[in-house]
Amino acid sequence: MSSEKPTIPAASNFIRGIIDRDLAQGTNASRHWAGSPGDATHQATGAPDPAKIRTRFPPEPNGYLHIGHAKSICLNFGLARDYAGVCHLRFDDTNPEKEEQEYVDSIIEMVKWLGFGWDAFGKSHLYYASNYFDFMYRAAEALINAGLAFVDQQSADEMRITRGTLTEAGKNSPWRDRSIVENLQLFHEMREGKHADGSMVLRAKIDMASPNINMRDPAIYRIKRAHHHNTGDTWCIYPMYTYAHPVEDALEQITHSICTLEFEDQRPFYDWVLERLAEPPTEAVGANKQALLAHPLPKQYEFARLNLTYVVLSKRKLIQLVEDKHVSGWDDPRLPTLAGARRRGYTPEGFRMFADRIGVSKADSWIEYTILEDCMREVLNEASERRIAVLDPIKLVIDNYTDNKTEDCFAPNHPQKPELGKRVVPLTKELWIEREDFEETPPKGFFRLVPDGMVRLRYGYVVKCTSFEKDAAGKVTTVHCEYLPDTKSGTPGADAIKVKGNIHWVSAQHAYAAEVRLYDRLFKEAHPGSGDNDFLDDLNPNSVKLITAQLEPSLKGAKPAETFQFERHGYFVADRKDSVADKPVFNRTVTLRDAWQK
């Protein structure tokens, strides 16, 4: 992207340390870039790569992005941004059975939403692994020619058995010593569709006794007659991730290939593939003497994936939540999917702040969910105008106030930003106030309305409670009070009478009733499904509460996705899907912090 410096210097982490070192030593300085991905011959025709580093975010388009992906996205795109490099968005679509265009579209949308792009140096860097199938096939032939791969006709079960165990070496496949010619022939037949799915695979020939199971002749191509979202029915054989990924990185001239910890064991094979393909073919092969890939080769680095308390991020569990209808869909505001978070009112800035705040390391860790919430509060506090909403209304009648009188009160749109101006909130004799702002028998430390007590109606007058009414069930329905005429906010002497409590209100005559959804965390346990619990048992039964609130009139015009702070409550967003003109529906994004615990 550009060479602009980040406003706040990014925290040091081990990956930045590696990049700093590489840059200082010129590790990747000799790379050429021909303007598009390609093999050594292709790249050699290009100029020295203008990108100091290349990273990539390589999702498989088989599901929706979630908060864990946001960490990786911020990391990879952030690194590219900070180091005058480029981050490629690459779809790792090597398994047609699971992948769909719908996911591709959704992923593109969410990465953009997070604030990142892949246009740099005059090019778009949006790629598909499936566009490299030709090269991967050619590279596989090269491995066969070099005696480094063979076609195995063992069944999947046989392969599993002969692979050995964690502590015992595996056994060579009986097909391991076929001739190069025969391997080539069979591999071509695989591609031509002459063999059934599962009847054979191409395997790398490495070492069945390797202590690293991933080096025991891993499969690199399988036969799979499936329609591919990008290549259609062109292929009936598809490369495996372990083989495809290093090739993809190399073709794209990736310098730092960053993935999560579980791929550490895979790194030796990643390097094995690249090193073999960077070697010039032996004379026995003839034809092309040029190595397929050129040095310097991409390097893989691993970091710890995100674990968040009160959240599940595993694909399997998310699918279950959606399919079993525990949530309303992939964009349910309670879900940790980015689509859900966006609907909830979480912001891209908040996610980027979160990513910066949690850092990057190799230590397994659990991030407290409140860190994410705090980040959202921090950006929302800055960005959101204040409004008044009474979520659980009871009547407050000012008995000594003139009937039918309407008086203007002035409420600032943002207490720290006077330039945002004020709006008029009408005051009348009958108001709605919050049920929890009145207590007949107040707990210790309560300083809101109590019988005979005084409180300020925010932006209005100080009132004194005179009486209250209850219904048959004993619930308070109406509170009566008298106002003190000389105490109106903004008038001289308004502060003559000091009160500690300050409550919000809306005029019953002017307010309007609207649907508000109070979201809470989806799970009630910090570690859903820990021990031998079913994670579904840890679902929070009160993760959403639909209410009808009394809102100040100006809220009627809220646009979908517009955020507000409802004073003394929290941050709310007009639902991007369900809001209609003049009738927005609000989602609670996150509450305000509350030092007052009862």
Q: Which of residues 28-87 bind RNA (CB under 7 A)?
A: 60
Binder of RNA out of 48, 232, 329, 415 (CB under 7 A) = 415
Please state, as a whole number, how many other Cβ atoms lie within 10 Å of the Cβ of residue 195.
17
Q: How far apart are the C-alpha atoms of 315 and 307, rounded to whole Å?
A: 13
User: Which is catalytic among the residues 60, 109, 189, 279?
Assistant: 60
Residue 171: CB minimum distance to RNA, A: 12
Q: How far apart are the C-alpha atoms of 311 and 373, rounded to whole Å?
A: 13
Q: Are strands 219-223 and 237-239 parallel, antiparallel or unpaired?
A: antiparallel
**Is residue 231 near RNA by the rule CB under 7 A?**
no
Three-class DSSP category at 457: strand
Q: How far apart are the C-alpha atoms of 451 and 481, rounded to whole Å?
A: 9
User: Which is catalytic among the residues 21, 315, 470, 500?
Assistant: 315
The angle at the Cα of 233, spanning 228 to 234, to the nearest 5 degrees, equals 105
State yes or no: is 60 an active-site residue. Answer: yes
Quick one: CA torsion of 252, 255, 259, 262, rounded to 10 degrees?
110
- DSSP code of residue 254: -
Quick one: CA torsion of 243, 303, 377, 525, rounded to 10 degrees?
90
261 with 305: CB under 8 angstroms?
A: yes
**Is residue 370 near RNA by the rule CB under 7 A?**
yes
- Which range in 102-110, 160-168, 185-193, 541-549 contacts RNA by CB under 7 A? 160-168
Q: How far apart are the C-alpha atoms of 20 and 14, rounded to whole Å?
A: 10
Q: How far apart are the C-alpha atoms of 475 and 472, rounded to whole Å?
A: 7
User: Which is catalytic among the residues 138, 224, 305, 422?
Assistant: 305
Show the site string, 384-403: x = touches RNA by CB under 7 A, - = not: --x-----------------
Binder of RNA out of 282, 490, 496, 559 (CB under 7 A) = 490
Residue 242 or 337 having the CB closest to RNA? 242
Binder of RNA out of 28, 43, 76, 95 (CB under 7 A) = 95
**Is residue 165 near RNA by the rule CB under 7 A?**
yes
Binder of RNA out of 47, 166, 546, 581 (CB under 7 A) = 166
Distances (CA, A) of 237 to 339, 372, 384: 34, 43, 53
425 with 409: CB under 8 angstroms?
A: yes
Residue 69 or 276 having the CB closest to RNA? 69
256 with 19: CB under 8 angstroms?
A: yes
425 with 459: CB under 8 angstroms?
A: yes
**Is residue 567 near RNA by the rule CB under 7 A?**
yes
Show the site string, 422-451: x = touches RNA by CB under 7 A, - = not: -----------------------xxxx---
Residue 407 or 578 having the CB closest to RNA? 407
**Is residue 137 near RNA by the rule CB under 7 A?**
no
Q: Which of residues 189-208 bind RNA (CB under 7 A)?
A: 197-201
Residue 436: CB minimum distance to RNA, A: 9
Residue 213: CB minimum distance to RNA, A: 4
**Is residue 494 near RNA by the rule CB under 7 A?**
yes
Residue 566: CB minimum distance to RNA, A: 8
Binder of RNA out of 363, 472, 473, 580 (CB under 7 A) = 363
Listing DSSP states for 508-577 in one string gives TTT-EEEEEEEE--SBSSSSTT-TT--GGGGB-TTSEEEEEEEE-GGGGGPPTT-EEEETTTEEEEE-TT
Binder of RNA out of 266, 428, 550, 589 (CB under 7 A) = 266
43 with 253: CB under 8 angstroms?
A: yes
**Is residue 171 near RNA by the rule CB under 7 A?**
no
State yes or no: is 305 an active-site residue. Answer: yes
Closest to 52 in 3D by CA, of 73, 27, 74:
27
Binder of RNA out of 178, 205, 456, 517 (CB under 7 A) = 456
Binder of RNA out of 4, 283, 323, 364 (CB under 7 A) = 364
Residue 162: CB minimum distance to RNA, A: 9
Q: How many residues line the site for RNA (CB under 7 A)?
A: 88
Please state, as a whole number, how many other Cβ atoms lie within 10 Å of the Cβ of residue 144.
25
- Which range in 132-140, 179-187, 287-295, 371-379 contacts RNA by CB under 7 A? 371-379
Residue 292: CB minimum distance to RNA, A: 21
State yes or no: is 178 an active-site residue. Answer: no
Q: Which of residues 292-321 bind RNA (CB under 7 A)?
A: 304
**Catalytic residue ranges:** 60, 305, 315
